[in-house]
């Protein structure tokens, strides 16, 4: 990768920042979703696959919700500029509280949920 015409340094540094975001995504899954546990609960290979797919699906749904939250903000924010751990905590509190809520309160709870979005903005890296 020594040819500057084939590998411009600006493009390489831009790609590196994207790679770093991917690494942070792995960390979010391991630290926040698995709570730093190094093992999976399942013992059978097909159940391990199922558990990993569940984690990946959950991670992507949280990231999707963070994208929706960014659209509510004034300014150009991207999902990786919000705290994953904070969003995960707020989503879990919302889900845990749903069985104890009457259907009429759901719109207000969702409105309150989106109002906390500004508190999830991270300082620039």
Name, in order, each residue with C-beta under 8 angstroms of 56's C-beta and a sequence gap of 6 or more.
29
Tell me the mean pLDDT per 10 residues along the chain, length 125. 81 79 79 71 87 89 93 87 92 90 88 91 86
pLDDT of the residue at 64: 94
Q: Provide the phi-psi class of 35: left if phi over 0, else alpha when psi is between -120 and 50, else beta.
A: left
Token pair recorded at residue 49:
């696959």
pLDDT of the residue at 3: 81
pLDDT of the residue at 83: 92
Alpha carbon distance 116, 120 (integer Å): 7
């Amino acid at each position: 990768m020594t040819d500057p015409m084939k590998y411009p340094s600006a493009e390489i540094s831009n790609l590196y920042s994207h790679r770093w975001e991917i690494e942070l995504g792995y960390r979010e899954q391991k630290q926040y979703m698995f709570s730093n546990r190094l093992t999976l609960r399942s013992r059978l290979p097909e159940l391990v696959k199922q558990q990993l797919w569940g984690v990946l699906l959950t991670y992507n749904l949280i990231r999707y919700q963070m994208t929706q939250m960014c659209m509510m903000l004034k300014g150009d924010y991207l999902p990786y500029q919000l705290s994953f751990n904070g969003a995960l905590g707020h989503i879990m509190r919302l889900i845990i509280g749903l069985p104890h809520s009457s259907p009429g309160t759901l719109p207000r709870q969702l409105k309150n949920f989106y109002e906390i979005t500004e508190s999830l903005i991270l300082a620039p890296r």
